[in-house]
């Protein structure tokens, strides 16, 4: 029988962090970037917008006034999905079950300049954002009812972002979310069996192969995961295992900031547009347990496939079966790497 050719034959790839599979169909569309490329008009935003509820000095919908902040600024979301004083009782009625969920939601303003996005920010500004992430993870984790802190950013209207001001969010809650539960279980099992970190060993293998590596520096690497679902999905991770962002040595913060800026700049160059994405940081839960097996990482899930206006939608088979992609991880990495 002919051996499996990952660049030619339809196949499924295994996600070592979640134990899930993705169907890959490279024969359907090997060169997705050679078709029509549509440019979109670039939005020229002012550095200050008097109608923006995130700009310094502006009044938010609840009547509170933002301070005249000069770096980062954080506040509890005025429309929080989770509440610290929520009812935690359980509802059960035969096959119907529910439980109240406590939590805290915060908005993280990356910079006072309304016109910026991550690729436009300078390295010191991005370092301040990283420090904000570290502080919020620590402070929220001190609450006895907070067992997980999820940092994330939705960029672009197509990702449901209602305000273009540079910002991210935190949803911290009682329950450890399902995606994190899966990653915890797989990393713990591997660590107990092998005595090493799952993601660290994976990164070492990818660095040796090089095929899916986009860029790297002394302490961090940006790569397209072998099991990537989204067309230009990318992971940034420290080369050496760290359980959470607070374990990041101060001197390595600049290396993390450099890769965040470099990757988001590559995204903007790809289709000559301000590239939309959802990005999230997965790190050890804050439940007081020993998570020595955890290796934190950042995942970027951008929806664009062929151009600034052609998007990837999870529909049909993907809604009822499992995720599927035509462009392989190797092709995506090559495309992004070529923009360096």
Residues tagged active-site = 167
Rounded to an integer, what distance in angstroms lies between the CA atom of residue 162 and that of residue 155?
9
- Going 289 to 291 to 292 to 297, the CA torsion angle's sign is negative
Measured CA to CA in angstroms, residue 240 lies from 63, 219, 226, 260 at distances of 45, 7, 19, 17
CA torsion sign for 249, 253, 258, 261 is positive
Contacts of 15 (CB under 8 A, 6+ apart): 21, 22, 225, 227
Phi-psi region of 94 (alpha: psi -120 to 50; beta: other; left: phi over 0): left
Instruction: State the Cα–Cα distance between residues 60 and 66, nearest whole angstrom.
Output: 7
Best CA proximity match to 118, nearest among 282, 300, 250: 300
Residues 6+ apart with CB under 8 A from 331: 26, 30, 31, 32
């Amino acid at each position: 029988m002919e051996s499996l050719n990952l660049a030619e034959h339809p196949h499924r790839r295994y996600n070592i962090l979640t134990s899930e599979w993705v169907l890959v169909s490279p024969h359907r569309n090997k060169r997705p970037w050679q078709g029509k490329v549509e440019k979109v008009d670039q939005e020229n935003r002012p550095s200050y917008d008097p109608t923006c509820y995130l700009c310094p000095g502006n009044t938010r919908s609840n009547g509170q006034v933002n301070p005249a902040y000069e770096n980062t600024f954080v506040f509890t979301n005025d429309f929080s999905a989770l509440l610290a004083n929520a009812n935690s009782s359980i509802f059960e009625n035969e096959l119907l079950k529910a439980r109240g969920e406590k939590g805290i939601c915060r908005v993280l303003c990356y910079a006072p300049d309304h016109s910026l996005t991550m690729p436009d920010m300078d390295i010191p500004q991005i370092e301040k954002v990283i420090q904000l992430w570290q502080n919020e993870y620590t402070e929220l984790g001190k609450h006895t009812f907070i067992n997980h802190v999820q940092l994330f950013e939705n960029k672009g209207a197509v990702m449901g972002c209602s305000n273009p001001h540079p910002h991210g969010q935190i949803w911290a809650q009682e329950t450890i979310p399902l995606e994190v539960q899966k990653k915890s279980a797989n990393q713990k099992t591997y660590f107990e069996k092998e005595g090493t970190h799952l993601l660290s060993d994976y990164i070492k293998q990818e660095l040796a192969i090089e095929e899916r590596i986009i860029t790297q520096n002394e302490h961090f690497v940006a790569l397209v995961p072998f099991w990537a679902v989204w067309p230009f999905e990318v992971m940034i991770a420290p080369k050496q295992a760290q359980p959470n962002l607070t374990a990041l040595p101060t001197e390595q913060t600049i290396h993390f900031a450099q890769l965040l800026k470099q990757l988001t700049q590559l995204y903007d160059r790809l289709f000559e547009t301000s590239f939309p994405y959802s990005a999230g940081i997965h790190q050890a839960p804050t439940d007081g347990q020993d998570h020595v097996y955890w290796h934190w990482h950042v995942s970027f899930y951008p929806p664009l496939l062929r151009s600034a206006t052609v998007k990837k939608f999870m529909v049909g088979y993907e809604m009822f079966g499992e995720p599927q992609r035509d462009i392989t991880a190797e092709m995506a990495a090559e495309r992004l790497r070529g923009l360096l």
